[in-house]
Structure 1
Amino acid sequence: MLSGNLEYLISSLPQLQFSTSVEDKQRVHSVFQTYSMNDGDINLITVLDDEASKYLSAKKAEIFKQISLNTANHQRFQEHGDAVLSGFSSFLSNLKEKIKLLRLSRNQDTTYVSSPLEALQLKPGNPLEEELQLLELQWHELEELSIGHFSDFSALIAYKIKLLLLQRLWSFDETEGFIQYSKFIKITEDNG
């Protein structure tokens, strides 16, 4: 019975696409708005956590709620028994190490035998373009890891992480980003 309920939940969630289109964003928000039975602003992740908790054991619900983009690379998730969670956690940890090397190489004008950009499979670009590429890399990794998982806990984990990635993607505002970047450059020039 538990599996059937989880299967129902997963099949009733909106399909997620790596997209910034207003229509896709509104479609996802609309479904989660219905789940929340709230007409105001909602936190998509909170709604998903609450709905999932109804169909998960207390232990799985607690683990599920702890997953965020800031914690997904933690050791406890890398060692978790779920293949999607541990696989993504290891991937993210490795990705963060490569990003660290990239930033160090940029700050120190160090050239590596193999460029950190090449290791990350990124095309050089402005910070926003590179961040978008990093999000897409993570999305594709989740797609690979979740093959064969349609209505189980692994599928739900993949869904939550994709939703987290989409929220990050949807939060980017090019105009605001340029303003913040300009302020940073001005501060750097004033102090340098």
Structure 2
Amino acid sequence: MQHAQTLETIHRLTHRHWMKSAGALGLSYSEFEYLSAIYEQAVLSETTDHHGQHLHDIVTAMGVNKASASAMMDKLEKRKLVRVKPCKRDARAKHFLLSKKGEELRVIGKSADEQLASVLEADILAILSPAPVQTVAALEHMPDAPKEEKKPRAKKKAEPKPKEPAEQADALPQLSLFG
């Protein structure tokens, strides 16, 4: 339980540090993560035969769902932190590129993270001791949290199919005006 409490404290401290340094610029940590993912995809496409920076690549890199990533890309584009360029290989796809302002904010965010890391480095290493490398490797291979199982939906009872007018006439009791 002590480690969980320590992680909670580290998370709280990192959040406070972020808000004091990069948060003052109007950049949330989540936005910084997306800007970083776009940057990493751009580096991959320069150094390998990776055709990244599509929404799918960012979703995969971030480990988020497509709807969340799409909403964030729209938000970043409206704030002019991201530019959108049509894909040359697939007319339906778009490439997401950092704008000059987006890159500047990413660099500031990276600097804020590096400052915090240098302050916390000794404490983090102490937490991870005696085997920090194995601990980090174990965290990277940790299974995802179990997803909530979806309950099968109750099937609607089929309503009786409306009868054709001729069938309806046959189904009604025969009434006579004269008795």
Q: TM tier, shorter chain?
A: under 0.3
TM-score when scaled to structure 1?
Answer: 0.21
- Of structures 1 and 2, the larger Rg is shown by 2
Higher helix share: 1
1 or 2 for the larger relative contact order (CA 8 Å, sep ≥6)?
1
TM-score when scaled to structure 2?
Answer: 0.22
